[in-house]
Amino acid sequence: MQFFLEVLIGGLLSGVMYSLVALGFVLIFKASGVFNFAQGALVFLAALTTVGLMERGAPGWIAGLIAAILLGMAVLAVRKGRGAALGGRDWRKAGMFAAIAVGTILLIHKPLPFWGAVAVTLVFMVGVGVATERVVLRPLVNQPPISLFMATIGLTFFLEGLAQAMWGANVRGLDIGIPDEPIQWVMDRWGVLVSSFDLAGAGIAAVLVASLAVFFNKTRIGRALRAVADDHQAALAVGIPLKQIWAIVWAAAGFVALVAGLLWGARNGVQFALTFVALKALPVLILGGFESIAGAIVGGLIIGASEKLAEVYIGPMVGGGIESWFAYVVALLFLLVRPEGLFGEKHIDRV
């Protein structure tokens, strides 16, 4: 019984880690109805950027490129401002771009402390999100979802390549200061092994989920997001700023990717395989529904617990190594009962 409990708790905690990645997918899907294939690549890019900045600061060429783009945008903002007679506001924008450009240049080859690197990575990930909206998604407004999905596949390979071009192919460790050791008093009291790191990861995921749930359900932007997801054109017609909404969501997905990247990176090392954690999120999404934050969490818990129990109790009978596909079996079984996922919205179309 003790062993069963241990496997169950371990599975539930792993499940929360899967949910963390699944959240990024849910955010984008909720806002644009697009399955963002690039979420795994975003996790990799975020983690690698953080450790890269800690290790050796920004590489010259990428910092120079970003600064040049930002300065160009600053100039454009000023010129646009004169034409539109909105000088004051656009000067502010230009100033902001110029300041970030200078900041980027100052980062060249300057290793940063952990929190500094996290902050700069956050800005970078928000930038990547906004740029994705500008360059990849905006030209595809009102196109069928499959076009947007294909665009995110392209984006995946670009981001993976960019990450390795920026920081090299080295595998790195990441210490975020949370020990990955059994909690002794739990061990002494119940004889059950629970890792302090997994527990902390679950706590961080819980806070993230709670804040995102509030954001989506209680704020105007959240409601606008849901309207956009339902129908781009209708949302535009009632005056919802689609582009702005998409940029916000991609920036939020970048933030979630950063948190997931830091936790998974600290767990297994920062390396290309971080892109594979997306595979762990897929059954969670199938089970929990693509549009539900709560579904991502509950789905993660169910998948995590069931795959671990299956590996331990069924695995030895069939030669082991079953957890990766068993997760999909569980998800597909749930689909038989609830085709829209556990928490997915039922879509009823007028015929």
Partner 1 sequence: MKASILGRSLRPVAATLAAAAIGLGASGAAHAQAKEQFIPLTGYWVGPYAAGGSGFFGGMVDYLTMLNERDGGVNGVKFTFEKCETEYNNARGVECYERLKKKGPTGATLVHPLSTGITYSILEKAPQDKVPIISMGYGRTDAADGRVFPWVFPLITTYWSQASAMINYIAKKEGGHDKLKGKKIVLLYHDSAYGKEPHAVLQDEAKRHGFDLTLIAVAHPGNEQGAQWQQIRQIRPDYVILWGWGVMNPTALKAAQKTGFPREKMIGVWWAGAEEDTIPAGDAAKGYVAAGFNVAGTNYPVIREIQKYVYGKGKGEMDDKSRVGSIYYNRGVVAGIITAEAVRLAQERFGKGQPMTGEQVRWGIERLNIDNARLKQLGAEGFMPPLKVTCQDHEGSGLVKFQEWDGKQWKVLTDWIEPDRKLVRDKIEASAAAYAKEKGIALRDCSKEN
Among the listed residues 192, 167, 271, the one whose alpha carbon sits nearest the alpha carbon of residue 13: 192
Contact 48, 270 (CB under 8 A): yes
> Which CB atom, from 4 or from 106, has the smaller least distance to partner 1?
4
CB of 226 vs partner 1, minimal distance in Å: 33
- Name the minimum Å distance from CB 67 to partner 1: 22
Q: Which of 324, 203, 323 is nearest to 263 (CA)?
A: 203
Residues making contact with partner 1 (CB under 8 A): 3, 6-7, 10-11, 14, 160-161, 164, 168-175, 180-182, 193, 195, 197, 264, 267-273, 275-277, 280, 307-309, 311-312, 315-316, 319-325
Rounded to 10°, the helix 293-313/323-337 angle is 130
Report the candidate in 309, 284, 306 with the shortest Cα–Cα distance to residue 297.
284
In the bound state with partner 1, the residue whose beta carbon lies nearer, of 127 and 168, is 168
- DSSP, collapsed to helix, strand or coil, labels residue 58 as strand
Closer by beta carbon to partner 1, 77 or else 284: 284
**Long-range contacts: 137-143, Cβ < 8 Å, 24+?**
137/32, 137/34, 137/246, 137/250, 138/243, 138/246, 141/232, 141/242, 142/232, 142/233
- With beta carbons less than 8 A apart as the criterion, state whether 174 and 53 touch: no
Q: Which is nearer to partner 1, 47 or 229 (CB)?
A: 47
**Residue with smaller CB distance to partner 1, 94 or 270:** 270
* Least distance CB 310 / partner 1 (angstroms): 8
Length of the chain, in residues: 351
d(CA 289, CA 261): 23
- Closest distance to partner 1 from the beta carbon of 221 (Å): 34
Residue found under tokens 């990428």: 62
Shortest distance, position 116 Cβ to partner 1, whole Å: 20
Distance between CA atoms of residues 140 and 147, nearest Å: 7
C-beta closer to partner 1: residue 292 or 306: 306
Closest separation between CB of residue 52 and partner 1, Å? 12
Q: Which is nearer to partner 1, 142 or 324 (CB)?
A: 324
CA nearest neighbour of 24 among 14, 11, 38, 13: 38
Rank residues 164 and 340 by Cβ distance to partner 1 and give the closer one.
164
What is the nearest approach in angstroms of partner 1 to the Cβ of residue 161? 7
Structure tokens at 333: 């079984």
State the minimum distance, in angstroms, from the CB of residue 110 to partner 1: 18
Q: What is the distance between the alpha carbons of residues 176 and 258, in angstroms, rounded to a whole number?
A: 13
